[in-house]
Amino acid sequence: MIANAKNSDDVPAIKVQHLTVSYGPVPALLDVSVEIPQGKLVGIIGPNGSGKSTLMKSMLGFIKPDVGTVDIFGTDVSQVKGRVAYVPQRGSVDWDFPITVREVAAMGRYSYRRWWQDLKKEDFRLADEALEKVRMSDFKDRQIGQLSGGQQQRVFMARALAQDADILLLDEPFAGVDAATERAILDVLQETKEAGKTVVVVHHDLGTAAEYFNLIILLKQRLFGFGTPRQVLNQKLLSDVYEGNLKVFAELARHPSDEVDGG
């Protein structure tokens, strides 16, 4: 594994302590504590409605917890601005919004300018570079609804890249994209990780989780497991979380191909 100057700093990238969030009488998250070290590719997995997105939104400071704290590099998330970039779930975006591909990518630069300031040429250059990286340059002036699912996902990847944040959070980036796009997104995530950044991905597919991530957070309202795929993807934990649907996982637990982990 590539040693990175940034990684020598051992403040955790994200530190969640005793996080409880509720929307009604039933908590969406209950007493979740987890420390995500820097420079790792981390998957958040769990069944539908297990609080994966809620955990992510808390890490972004969008949801105020009932109890608990989220620290980003040792600072409370509400005080942190722009160090976390976010790629939304495709279903939660208004694709009819009057905005072009380039404008979305340029949003990544908003955190670098005061709210009343206009974006500078430099910002658009960086946005264009980010679009180039995800091979979306040819679609710059398209309205975002006029793209295929995979292309839409890549536009938001470009936005995150343009933001050049230390932490990248992605909500179900692989849902509904073709295999080629999945590969392309994964490559960008790997590169981002190798550049010393921390990448956290809400992920649905248990089958690919072991292959994709260094660390896995297994969630179902409570934290059921956190560690390397080998540690987490065992029959016992999975059966606790996914009661009943075990046929698939028996196969999975047999050969998790996680890489040897340094951290």
Partner 1 sequence: MADSMAEFFTELQLNYGYLIRPLIVGTLVSIVCSVVGCFIVLRRMAFLADAIAHSMLAGVIGGYLLMKVFYQQDSNLTAMLIGAILAGILTVAMVGFVTKFSRVKQDTAIGIMYTGIFAFSAFFISLGSVSKYIQIDIYHFIIGDIMAVDNSELWLLAIVASIVLPVVILFYRPLQLTTFDPIMAAAIGVPVMAVEYLLTACTSLVVVSGVQIAGVILVVALIITPAATAYLLTDRLDRMIITSAIVGVLCFWLGFVVAVFLGTEPGATIVVMMTGVFLGGLVFAPKYGLLADWIRKSNTVPQEMMEDVLGCVLRAKGKSVPVTEVLKHIKKPAPRVRKSITMLERQGLLDVDNDKVLLTDDGRFQAKKLVRAHRLWETYLDRTGALPKEKIHDTAHLLEHISDEKTVEYLDDKLGHPVTDPHGSIIPNDSELVVGKDLLLSVLRDGNRATVVKTNGVAASSDLKVGEQITMGPRTDGGQIWVVVTSAGEKLSLTHDEVDAVVVRLLEDT
Residues lying near partner 1 in the complex (CB under 8 A) are found at: 57, 60-62, 80-82, 84-86, 88, 93-94, 97-100, 103, 107, 110-111, 113, 115-116, 143, 159, 163
Distance between CA atoms of 156 and 100, rounded to whole angstroms? 12
Distance between CA atoms of 251 and 247, rounded to whole angstroms? 7
User: In the bound complex, what is the minimum distance in angstroms from residue 161's beta carbon to partner 1?
Assistant: 14
The nearer residue to partner 1, 57 or 222, going by C-beta atoms, is: 57
Distance between CA atoms of 245 and 59, rounded to whole angstroms? 29
**Alpha carbon of 106 to those of 69, 118, 162, 164: distances in Å?**
31, 11, 7, 12
User: In the bound complex, what is the minimum distance in angstroms from residue 144's beta carbon to partner 1?
Assistant: 9
The nearer residue to partner 1, 48 or 254, going by C-beta atoms, is: 254
Helix, strand, coil tally for the chain in percent (to 5):
40, 25, 35
The nearer residue to partner 1, 4 or 100, going by C-beta atoms, is: 100
The nearer residue to partner 1, 187 or 251, going by C-beta atoms, is: 251
The nearer residue to partner 1, 14 or 241, going by C-beta atoms, is: 14
Half-sphere exposure of 157 (CA within 13 A, CB side): 29
User: In the bound complex, what is the minimum distance in angstroms from residue 243's beta carbon to partner 1?
Assistant: 25
User: In the bound complex, what is the minimum distance in angstroms from residue 199's beta carbon to partner 1?
Assistant: 15
Structure tokens at 261: 């982990």
User: In the bound complex, what is the minimum distance in angstroms from residue 109's beta carbon to partner 1?
Assistant: 10
Whether the Cβ atoms of residue 199 and residue 41 lie closer than 8 Å to each other:
yes
